[in-house]
Structure 1
Amino acid sequence: MDIRQLKTFIAIAEHGTFAKAADAVGLTPSAVSQQIQALEAEVRIELFDRSTRPVTLNSQGLQMLEAAQVLVRSADDIVDAISGRAISGTFTIGSVRSSALSLLPKAIIELKNDFPDLKIKLHVANSDELLNDVVTGRLDSAMVAEYSGVPSTLRWSPFINEPLFVIAPKGTKPRSATELLSELPYVKFISRFRLANIIETEVARSGIITNVIAEIDTIMAVVACVAHGLGASIAPWSALKEAPGEVVAVPFGDPQIHRQIGLIERRTSPRAAVIDRLHQHLVSFSGEYGMAR
Structure 2
Amino acid sequence: MNSQFLESLLAVSQNGSIAEAARVQGLTPAAISQRLKSLEILLGMPLTIRAGKTIRLTEAALRILPHAKQVIKEHRNLVDALNQDRISGRIACGAISTAMTGLIPKALKSLNDTGHELEIKLHPGTSAQLYNRLVADELDAVIITKPPFHIPKNIKISEIHQENLCLIAADGYLRIPSKNNKNLTDNILSNALHQQLQQHPFIRYDQNSWGGGYVKSYLDDHKLRVQELYELDALEAIAVLVNSGLGLALVPDWPAPWAEGLILDKIVIPNPNYMRQVVLLRKRETGKETAIDFIWQHLIKSNVTK
* TM-score range relative to shorter protein: 0.7 to 0.9
Contact 1:163/1:259, CA 8 A, preserved across alignment: yes
Contact 2:164/2:272, CA 8 A, preserved across alignment: no
- Counterpart CA distance in 2 for 1:202 and 1:222 is 18
Q: TM-score, normalised by structure 2?
A: 0.74
Match of 2:184 in 1: none
SS of alignment partner, residue 77 of structure 2: helix
- Counterpart CA distance in 1 for 2:243 and 2:29 is 55
Shift of 1:84: 4.2
SS of alignment partner, residue 138 of structure 2: coil
Say if 1:123 and 1:71 are closer, same or farther in 2 by CA, change over 3 A. farther
Matched, 1:187 2:203: yes
- Counterpart CA distance in 1 for 2:88 and 2:63 is 25
- 1:31-70 correspondence to structure 2 within 5 Å: 33-38=37-42, 40-41=43-44, 46-49=46-49, 56-60=55-59, 61=61, 64=64, 68-69=68-69
Match of 2:269 in 1: 252
Contact 1:167/1:250, CA 8 A, preserved across alignment: yes
Contact 1:107/1:285, CA 8 A, preserved across alignment: yes
Matched, 1:157 2:164: no
Contact 1:223/1:239, CA 8 A, preserved across alignment: no
Shift of 1:66: 6.6
Contact 1:141/1:263, CA 8 A, preserved across alignment: yes
CA RMSD of aligned residues (A): 3.5
- Counterpart CA distance in 1 for 2:129 and 2:64 is 20
Contact 1:73/1:90, CA 8 A, preserved across alignment: no
SS of alignment partner, residue 151 of structure 1: coil
SS of alignment partner, residue 238 of structure 1: coil
- Counterpart CA distance in 1 for 2:82 and 2:88 is 13
- 1:191-206 correspondence to structure 2 within 5 Å: 191-206=207-222
Return the letter of the residue paired with 1:161: Q
Identity %: 22
Residue-by-residue CA offset, 1:264-283 (whole Å, 9 max, x unaligned): 11111222222112212222
Say if 1:17 and 1:209 are closer, same or farther in 2 by CA, change over 3 A. closer
Match of 1:268 in 2: 285
- 1:105-120 correspondence to structure 2 within 5 Å: 105-114=105-114, 117-120=117-120
Shift of 1:78: 2.3
Match of 2:170 in 1: 169
Contact 1:18/1:32, CA 8 A, preserved across alignment: no
- Counterpart CA distance in 1 for 2:84 and 2:216 is 49
Q: Which moved more, 1:269-278 or 1:78-87?
A: 78-87
Match of 2:146 in 1: 146
Tell me which of 230, 244, 248 is aligned to 1:214.
230
Match of 1:178 in 2: 194
Match of 1:234 in 2: 250
Say if 1:64 and 1:86 are closer, same or farther in 2 by CA, change over 3 A. farther
Q: TM-score, normalised by structure 1?
A: 0.76
- 1:53-132 correspondence to structure 2 within 5 Å: 56-60=55-59, 61=61, 64=64, 68-69=68-69, 71-84=71-84, 86-96=86-96, 98-102=97-101, 103-114=103-114, 117-132=117-132
Q: Which moved more, 1:168-177 or 1:150-159?
A: 168-177
- Counterpart CA distance in 1 for 2:30 and 2:288 is 33
Q: Which sections of structure 2, spanning at least 5 residues, go unmatched?
A: 13-17, 178-188
Return the letter of the residue paired with 1:276: D
SS of alignment partner, residue 211 of structure 2: helix
Say if 1:184 and 1:74 are closer, same or farther in 2 by CA, change over 3 A. same
- Counterpart CA distance in 1 for 2:7 and 2:199 is 62
